[in-house]
Structure 1
């Protein structure tokens, strides 16, 4: 069927996942850094535990604050300057931030660098799923955009194993500086590979650049069969008509409509809620402090670091498994299963910490480790992979950048609050802090079940209908005869632009 993805789709997705990897590695590398003896010694944390707790919270808090600003930057620039220029800027900011972080000579410089690095990864994590969604066909969008989450946690895993390796280095400076410096490589690789990435055809249509948009759409779908050519015509026709209708509606109210038009307002808060709910499972608190959690369970030396790396390796595999399931079972069943599994896992993990932390009961401590791995399996396969896909597809083209940016603000605000409070909370109420996440997740499951619609298998334009907006053209379930009609109508309307014998996708166009 013309709706399946092509090798060209896949190639673009895989290059864009360098941006996903940039976020994952850059976000994750600090988890092991905080446990590296060289880092602790360089900043003299071992002699002042109270100061160390405060600085640790600030290190993570500033990173999340920078990510919030980065998200908002994308919300403006991605629409104003296009997806590709925004990708260049995000890559450069990431390189600068990580380079400064790796070269920090005092804690003040390190904190400033953390804010800049956070700004860069905030841009990247918003941009990449938007870009991926806009070049993916409807029936495989879940799998293709799901690679964003998979490569994020692959970045987590690589950061974890690099941290394990440098832990055994006798050079204390190399021990923590090298893993951070390595974070410059993925965004640099993205810049190098970017000439092979086309601009989003949907964004080009918003700028009335129809010939360029059609050249990209036709290449995305391939032209090896008449069926694929018909589907490309149908999707392009739908894109063009919907963009025109949306532009007319947007001109009547502008940015005010984001929160005063009911259908847009619902989507803005829904996207924010999805990302808030993901973090309210306690995912980032558990991950950022995973080494400390394993140390509390009586593990010492390099074992906590090894288990932390294994933890995110499992997350990578579960994300990929979730991506394979997403277009089959749908977004809602997978996310509800993920939230429920995480809630139960955190509850049992808390029980093991409460009962066995500080004891020599190996069975109880082992179960604590086991339930942490249960948590990340459910989170990776049911929440992480769904959240980015869902938030990238529920917004119409003309507000997708602002909508996804606002959604990811929900991630970083939630993470900022939970992670900033974690050092103090874990020191004072210990395992009781995790019970907060159990209660929040129970509430969020109910809200999601009754409030959020299913989007599986629909084109980005047809999802508008789920929120009460007009869908100008329906073609997902069109018959071949109707597709042929679309072909005829489009050729009359666009003339040479649609007639494939008159269109050639040259490198300059694509």
Structure 2
């Protein structure tokens, strides 16, 4: 037994655990394999797989790329403020330092905007559609940028940052939900990962290198020009988002079944009205939507449905775990306060600090984009665990060097510290950045996806406010011991991830309902089903558990089935209906 990759008639690959095929699949090219979702594997093989170069794929790529501008706005701001914190002209104009309470408040007001924005993000996305949420978020970002770029005093600058934080939360609630809901199941990990990784890093790269270039200028334009550029991706979203199709899951939830089916036929089924993957998704979504209507709560301000059942409480815990706890493992220190860190270790040149920051963004960006292509290969759980371990190991030498740097430090030691900052960024970006918005959007059911995402944004905002406000004060008062706190939190976080993270790869969004309804969701998510893949035929032999002739039942998707699945040994073949031996 070993792991192999099965190639369908298209060029979509399905990674499976391969054994020798039994007699029932001896004719033709057959492999006995283990997959997460029997129904999805069956549909993919019958449709000939999902090709990277199919007409549907080529239509979907530009949509995904355009939507990534939502998170580019967020990435731009993170790198913008870190870079501007190294500009003497910025500090002189507003009379603030690189650290201390005033600087902490200047940075943290952005997260106050996020907190308020989270209250409006869910109703915007649920009641008026995912496109409206993105459009309205972009509008506030443009207005906030204008206010910030024309600032005459610190109060006006902070007002602009508040509006930008508000808009980013509204837009970045609808954006990742849209990407996850329009992506084919077999490519959801890649598209969802690229949404955050590519978008965030593209924004961060533009900001860091723009600031590096303008940082050599004299006067206010050294910081005003980078601020103005922040409006461009928001303006593009505002002007073009209504040209895109609406999310089919939102359409089904709002009684627009035919529009949803047309979307799946065009963007998932290559125009084939009888596509197996189209029929499967429509069946699953409608079944889930009908169930959700029984629990429907039309009061936008009521967040009790997020905690109405045991499995939903567990989902909320996971949202807090992956969204809030990872704010307290040291990434924010590097992201926002890198110039302060460099000052403390003896690298004080503003130009050198801007260059180090810009290179850090480059290395992290490359790592994060590469990581997207391994989300479905390694799985979400493995990436979370390895990310926590490797970044924690990087913090050990960073902690030691920071402690030795009290007082005088050799410049070589300072550059060693920078090297570990780069390593931290590479590991964090490869393992965690592709999952930042993908995983939360995956684990939430359709009826509370926007509310749950807004709840996470609210909690993220609280965590970020505490982090961005308290970190400069901690660096000022306890120095290197700040890193010790983050080091300890790293390994506590690793243990919590080990016991809690549910694997979501290889399953449709609706099948995850079955995973979370199980008494042991982590264990359940790691179960797989034995099948036999054969070219040119359909499913030929009935699994040992209850699966009906349409390919549905325990082997497929019953959103509220609490019974444990047996492993299913079936034969898959391309181009035919399911056949049982």
Same fold (TM over 0.5): yes
Is the CA contact (8 Å cut-off) linking 2:269 and 2:277 kept in structure 1?
A: no
2:271 equivalent to 1:240: no
Equivalent residue number for residue 164 of structure 1: 212
Of residues 64, 70, 75 in structure 2, which corresponds to 1:13? Answer: 64
Is the CA contact (8 Å cut-off) linking 2:96 and 2:103 kept in structure 1?
A: no
Quick one: distance in 2 between partners of 1:215 and 1:260?
34
5 Å-filtered alignment, 1:318-397, equals 318-356=367-405, 358-397=407-446
Equivalent residue number for residue 332 of structure 2: 284
Of residues 187, 194, 200 in structure 2, which corresponds to 1:147? Answer: 194
Quick one: distance in 1 between partners of 2:236 and 2:126?
24
Task: Give 1:482 deviation, angstroms.
Answer: 6.7
Query: Which range moves more in the overlay, 318-327 or 185-194?
Result: 185-194
Q: Deviations over 1:106-145 (max 9, x none)?
A: 1111112111111111222222111110011112111101
Is the CA contact (8 Å cut-off) linking 1:98 and 1:180 kept in structure 2?
A: yes
Equivalent residue number for residue 293 of structure 1: 341
Q: Deviations over 1:391-450 (max 9, x none)?
A: 010011010001112223332221111110112110111111121111112111111111
2:275 equivalent to 1:261: no
Task: Give 1:252 deviation, angstroms.
Answer: 11
May I ask how many residue pairs the two structures share in their alignment?
477
Task: Give 1:4 deviation, angstroms.
Answer: 5.2
Q: Deviations over 1:442-490 (max 9, x none)?
A: 11111111112110111000011111079xxxxx989974799769xxx
Quick one: distance in 2 between partners of 1:390 and 1:42?
41
Task: Give 1:323 deviation, angstroms.
Answer: 0.6
**Larger helix fraction of residues:** 1
Quick one: distance in 2 between partners of 1:122 and 1:363?
41
* Secondary structure of the structure 1 residue equivalent to 2:246: coil
Change (3 A) 1:55 1:329: same
Change (3 A) 1:262 1:393: same
Query: Which range moves more in the overlay, 247-256 or 363-372?
Result: 247-256
Equivalent residue number for residue 43 of structure 1: 94
2:152 equivalent to 1:105: yes
Quick one: distance in 2 between partners of 1:132 and 1:337?
25
* Secondary structure of the structure 1 residue equivalent to 2:245: coil
Change (3 A) 1:54 1:421: same
Task: Give 1:361 deviation, angstroms.
Answer: 2.3
Is the CA contact (8 Å cut-off) linking 2:68 and 2:195 kept in structure 1?
A: yes
Of residues 66, 76, 79 in structure 2, which corresponds to 1:25? Answer: 76
Change (3 A) 1:255 1:349: closer
Of residues 263, 268, 286 in structure 2, which corresponds to 1:221? Answer: 268
Q: Deviations over 1:123-171 (max 9, x none)?
A: 222221111100111121111010122111221121111110011112x
Equivalent residue number for residue 272 of structure 1: 320
Task: Give 1:233 deviation, angstroms.
Answer: 1.8
Equivalent residue number for residue 403 of structure 1: 452
Quick one: distance in 2 between partners of 1:485 and 1:203?
30
Quick one: distance in 1 between partners of 2:416 and 2:79?
25
Is the CA contact (8 Å cut-off) linking 1:154 and 1:313 kept in structure 2?
A: no
Is the CA contact (8 Å cut-off) linking 1:349 and 1:368 kept in structure 2?
A: yes
Equivalent residue number for residue 498 of structure 1: none
Quick one: distance in 2 between partners of 1:179 and 1:485?
60
Of residues 137, 148, 168 in structure 2, which corresponds to 1:121? Answer: 168
Q: Deviations over 1:36-69 (max 9, x none)?
A: 12111112336xx8xx722211111111111122
Change (3 A) 1:3 1:247: farther
Change (3 A) 1:268 1:478: farther
Equivalent residue number for residue 356 of structure 2: 307
Equivalent residue number for residue 432 of structure 1: 481
Task: Give 1:272 deviation, angstroms.
Answer: 1.6
Quick one: distance in 2 between partners of 1:205 and 1:363?
60
* Secondary structure of the structure 2 residue equivalent to 1:458: coil
Task: Give 1:363 deviation, angstroms.
Answer: 3.1
Q: Deviations over 1:328-352 (max 9, x none)?
A: 0100101111111111112211211
Change (3 A) 1:205 1:361: same
Q: Deviations over 1:301-337 (max 9, x none)?
A: 3011111011111111111111110000100101111
Equivalent residue number for residue 508 of structure 2: 459
* Secondary structure of the structure 1 residue equivalent to 2:86: coil
Is the CA contact (8 Å cut-off) linking 1:87 and 1:124 kept in structure 2?
A: yes
Quick one: distance in 2 between partners of 1:96 and 1:486?
53
5 Å-filtered alignment, 1:60-75, equals 60-75=107-122
Over alpha carbons, which structure has the higher Rg? 2
**Larger strand fraction of residues:** 2
Gaps of 5+ in 1: 471-475, 488-510
Quick one: distance in 1 between partners of 2:253 and 2:194?
26
* Secondary structure of the structure 2 residue equivalent to 1:401: helix
Q: Deviations over 1:188-238 (max 9, x none)?
A: 111233243211100011111101111111111142678x82211211221
Gaps of 5+ in 2: 1-47, 520-528, 541-547, 552-581
Query: Normalising to structure 1: TM-score of the pair?
Result: 0.88
* Secondary structure of the structure 2 residue equivalent to 1:35: coil
Quick one: distance in 2 between partners of 1:426 and 1:306?
22
